[in-house]
Structure 1
Amino acid sequence: MKILFIGDIVGQPGVDLVVAQVQALRDRYGADAVVANGENMNLSGPHPPTGFGMLPAQIEALLGAGVDVITSGNHAWDGPECAEALMHPRVLRPLNAPDRWYGRGVISIPVAGQTVTVVNVADESAIPEVSPAYAAFAALDLPAGPVIVDYHGDLVGRKFGFAFAVDGKASAVLGTHTHEPTVQAHRLPQGTGFVAEVGMTGPLGGVLGSEPGYFAALARGHDQADLPSAGLADGPVVLGAVLLDLDDAGSAREIRRIGVEHDYAMTI
């Protein structure tokens, strides 16, 4: 089984790229399912509460184009229509967020004659209020079949620790949130595939898909309250994505990082 995972989609340009390319990517790589992190789809400026999150129209566009499940992270609850967005049955937010927050953190869907489960977790570097990610995962009653985990957090060491903790229980642990892709792919001793950061799907030329002036001013010591909001960067739009090739037991055979115009394989 092959599963395409698309990293943090940033702004409408990122949405447009996925909508335009996802079916061609499915066909080219033989992907049986597509999972995409969409928490930054609404990024356009100003900053929260209206500048991040996911709009229902964007969700429908992605699902209509060929995405099967949309994951998210700390910005899931931002935006003017977050409640409606998070109530969509194919949209996830981190499982270990407080129960009173909108949304769900796990979904199982039929794929190629099997049941694929997607789990979304985060750590406190992304969402201070979350409970421990491993405990939330371990408490799940997972059906038989591949399990794909979107781990949303800043700290690479935490992502590694979680991946080793669920080694053999999850088919893959794929890091999101930092937007800058890590090159190395790993096959852990019990067969779990791991990439610390998938990377963003959005515009280059700035900081995490946003124009750089806001972040440079913060680095110079300016008061955040005095700064104008950051809009989208104006560079070329890139695809951050990973293709998983799973064996019949749900273990990762290969992780291939792919782009719209280039790809390179990391066999594990």
Structure 2
Amino acid sequence: MLTIKEVTKQTGITVRTMRYYDQIDLLPPAGKTEGGHRLYGEKELKKLQEIQFLKSLGFTLEEIKEMLADTEHDWFTGLKKQLGYVRNEKKRIIEMEKTIQGLLNEVMLNGKIDLPSVQKLIQLYQQNADKKEVYREEMFDDNDQELLDMLPNMNSGDPDTLEWIALLGRLKKEMSKGPSSPEIQRIVKRMLEKEQETYGNETDFGEKVWEIRKSPEKSERAGFYPIEPEVTEFLEVAFHIFMENEKGQEEEK
């Protein structure tokens, strides 16, 4: 027989937890010493292991108590139910992760968080998920669907998305210098390079995305992160200047 302190030393479970298990009749001790100290035998230690294992699977103490007390407990149904719960929790945590990443990206892009706007944006995307898919299917053919998955996602932390966010953030900071400034033209050059790296020669796809991007209404319907109209207008002018400069340099060769 082991005393409660010896059990806690072996298992790492606190004395308070062991006392609580006894209090709720989940794991009563095998007996007590003359001084009133709880004693635990091999049977109790085995049950303690079972309790800790079921806890690790997400079962509540009340559920564990019922499961271990009923020798004819329907383990299949119980585990199936718990699996459903865990899967739902997994989805919730993934969505939470995406939201937090989106907030971090919002700070990178704008230097601050506008919580009401972000909350409204998240709710809007969640509510219109099905409509977004329908609209995308209308606007893009089957060959484009694969490319759509490669678009930057505001709620993602992948390197490509983070670079796009950094480029757009820099662009916003430098806009006051004008679309033809060296700083803006360097940003535009990198954006075009990234577009080429990602989509290759699929220029039609890039043009479709840009046409949608220029319209706040279409961007919302497609589920794209909203970019202010003044920014897209500025970018279009900057792109045009860059292409004209490139054309002029080619003619000079």
| TM-score between both structures, scaled by the size of structure 1 | 0.21
Identify which of structures 1 and 2 has the higher relative contact order when contacts are C-alpha pairs closer than 8 Å and 6+ apart: 1
The structure whose residues are more often helix, as a share, is: 2
In our comparison, the structure showing a higher alpha carbon Rg is: 2
The structure whose residues are more often strand, as a share, is: 1
| TM-score between both structures, scaled by the size of structure 2 | 0.22
